[in-house]
Chains A and B, each alone.
Chain A
């Protein structure tokens, strides 16, 4: 394999798609101002019964899982000695950093008493029994770790290998030296908080339908987030670095697709064992319950199964189109799984339901647009992507 280095992709920064995305963000900012002026209730459909909506469930829980590429890569490259996949690490870590930062932001406008967020830094308020506390601490530390890992690619812009004697170069050398220390955190912290994001469901007990509630709910979140991470790497690589002449890249992505397949199969197996054990099979066919549970359950299953179908065989894994769709479907399946756990399958009382309001949706969509715009701009300016 010839040696390739990541390079800025270059090009104009304010392209029409970027401007469009910034426009959506502007509308989102307007509603955010309303939210801070008048309270969460004025822009959302949240109620005392359905108190976690898309800001928390999609913005934080789904959002953090979707950008697990950094975690999946770190795991494969450094722990399983999969050095050949190394070229995927940079974009994946950058996307993780952005995704996690935005998950943090989402939490900041979702919580009702935002100054209270500082309580996470005051020992007397720490609550070690709380899964949410564990998740919050691990996510914050992980953002720090990701910044250290993204650091080198940003710094490389500011010196050349021939004349490496300025501050940026020294910092770069230092970061590279301590990299192996951060990598340990890069695996341990996501393992802890990704399972924690599922573990949040445990204490909700019977308010969550047996189709989704199980003692293994944290493990299920962990397994599926790794699959989603592989999907995310595949999707970004195909989008940004796709080059049909680059056989190496396709080969490696195909192997990621295979890993993704294995994780999804394990996920689905455990999922079904638990549904059967909890006696939830009947609920899966209860289409007249008045709830969306059965429908949403089968859509979730379908997304996973069709996703699997796209990446099932070795020949399928060598087609860019196949693994691209497969990756997306698995990401969508994993996302719907999380929405099902915390919103669709969450029944605090008979007859209550939740659907986000328009401003609520716009705030979420605007934040995603801003995130994508930032990612694209950084990729254009800094050496992130490895391309032939």
Chain B
């Protein structure tokens, strides 16, 4: 009897382990089935070859979203502005700067790059957030909601672009990131502050579908002008903000990402293991049965 039950349990364990492993492998293989952006998704398109680095979008974004200036320690044009409180000069994205223009320079070549939330189609931050504080809206914006957030900062850990910022020096800090101007009401009027002010139309706003068509059109019309790719087409499973550039994207700080979203990988495993909670319930029943037998047998022996 004893040996029988043991082998029964061993068999079960084997089946269980197999069941846990197979979907993981299967899932990595099928991760290419990316989520499609809907026709309602709005987005932005930044063409680095058109950007003149005027930073008008930075100013407009701060104004629209009521963000504080960050005074930099810069020595500009021989004028020593150490600890200057004259102008806003952020060095990187932060809780006060959710949109930034950076300059890349190497020898003769140079390029600007605009950074803000990418409003990913299948966003890691949305998938990871335990309390639904980050939501992919129907209009495509990935937004953060104050009341829902626990400040676990998982979004900072899983965003491939390190976009969400946290107010570490506040006793009850917030997550801050570009909301595609959803909070300040501009998005509802089909505008965003940064695209509104761009004098060279380097960054434009519109339906993601149309923006993609436009990007591919430009790429085809003048291949020599660009590096041959639309960044955001497939990167990370597709982005809501797409890019064109002459300089390789990696040099501009846009990471080389796989053509699927890790959110899909993670959710795939999660869904297969816990589908309808069947596996955990079956395991529970089996263990309770085994424990009951073990317990009653040993009570008799006592």
A residues whose Cβ falls under 8 Å from a Cβ of B: 3, 36-42, 44, 46-49, 51-52, 77-81, 83, 86, 107, 110-114, 116-117, 119-120, 124-127, 129-134, 136, 179-181, 183-185, 187-188, 191-192, 195, 199-200, 202-207, 215-216, 218-219, 346, 348-349
Contacts of B173 in A (CB 8 A): 39-40, 112-113
Contacts of B172 in A (CB 8 A): 39, 112-113
CA distance A136 to B154 in the complex (A): 13
**A205 in contact with B258 (CB, 8 Å):** yes
**B-side interface size class:** 35 or more
Residue of A nearest to B287 (CB): A184
Q: Does B127 contact A (CB under 8 A)?
A: yes
A179-B295, A183-B291, A206-B160 known; A42-B274 Cβ under 8 A: no
Q: From residue B154, how far is it (CB to closest CB) to chain A in Å?
A: 5
Q: Does B199 contact A (CB under 8 A)?
A: no
Residue of A nearest to B154 (CB): A132
Q: Does B166 contact A (CB under 8 A)?
A: yes
List residues 149-167 of chain B with CB under 8 A from any CB of chain A. 149-154, 156-158, 160, 162, 164-167
**B291 in contact with A127 (CB, 8 Å):** no
Q: Supply 18 further A-B pairs (C-beta < 8 A) apart from A113-B150, A126-B132.
A: A39-B167, A48-B156, A78-B291, A81-B294, A111-B151, A112-B150, A112-B168, A114-B150, A116-B150, A124-B132, A125-B131, A127-B130, A129-B271, A188-B280, A202-B265, A204-B262, A215-B28, A349-B162
**A131 in contact with B169 (CB, 8 Å):** no
**B21 in contact with A183 (CB, 8 Å):** no
**B128 in contact with A132 (CB, 8 Å):** yes
**B154 in contact with A80 (CB, 8 Å):** no
Q: Does B124 contact A (CB under 8 A)?
A: yes
The number of residue pairs between A and B whose CB atoms lie closer than 8 Å in the complex comes to: 210
Contacts of B152 in A (CB 8 A): 107, 110-112, 132
Binary contact readout B40-75 vs A (1 if CB under 8 angstroms, 0 otherwise): 000000000000000000000000000000000000
**Partner-binding segment picked from B2-10, B77-85, B100-108:** B2-10
Contacts of A39 in B (CB 8 A): 167-173
A127-B131, A129-B127, A199-B269 known; A219-B292 Cβ under 8 A: no
Give the top 10 A-B pairs by smallest Cβ distance, nearest first: A112-B151, A41-B168, A116-B150, A113-B151, A205-B262, A133-B130, A184-B288, A51-B156, A78-B291, A183-B291
B residues whose Cβ falls under 8 Å from a Cβ of A: 2, 5-6, 9, 20-21, 24-25, 27-28, 94, 124, 127-133, 148-154, 156-158, 160, 162, 164-174, 255, 257-258, 262-263, 265-267, 269-271, 274, 280, 283-285, 287-288, 290-295, 297-298, 302
**B291 in contact with A203 (CB, 8 Å):** no
Contacts of B130 in A (CB 8 A): 120, 127, 130, 132-133, 136
**B262 in contact with A202 (CB, 8 Å):** yes
**B258 in contact with A206 (CB, 8 Å):** yes
Partner of A215, one of B2, B9, B265, B270: B265
**A49 in contact with B168 (CB, 8 Å):** no
CA distance A187 to B125 in the complex (A): 30
List 15 contacting pairs A-B, 8 Å CB cutoff, sorted by A: A40-B173, A42-B169, A52-B153, A77-B294, A78-B287, A81-B293, A81-B297, A83-B298, A127-B130, A130-B154, A179-B291, A180-B295, A188-B283, A188-B284, A219-B20
For the complex, would chain A's binding face be called helix, strand, loop or mixed by DSSP majority? helix
Contacts of B5 in A (CB 8 A): 81
Residue of B nearest to A196 (CB): B270
**B128 in contact with A131 (CB, 8 Å):** yes
CA distance A181 to B28 in the complex (A): 36
Partner of B166, one of A51, A131, A346: A51
Central interface residue in A116, A199, A206, by most chain B CB within 10 Å: A116
CA distance A218 to B150 in the complex (A): 24
**A218 in contact with B148 (CB, 8 Å):** no
Contacts of B269 in A (CB 8 A): 199, 202, 215, 218
CA distance A133 to B128 in the complex (A): 8
**A348 in contact with B162 (CB, 8 Å):** yes
Central interface residue in A38, A112, A116, A203, by most chain B CB within 10 Å: A203
**B127 in contact with A130 (CB, 8 Å):** yes
Q: From residue A364, how far is it (CB to closest CB) to chain B in Å?
A: 17
**B157 in contact with A52 (CB, 8 Å):** yes
Q: From residue B277, how far is it (CB to closest CB) to chain A in Å?
A: 10
Partner of B284, one of A40, A110, A112, A185: A185
Contacts of B128 in A (CB 8 A): 130-132, 200, 203
Residue of B nearest to A136 (CB): B130
CA distance A39 to B283 in the complex (A): 42
Q: From residue A289, how far is it (CB to closest CB) to chain B in Å?
A: 17
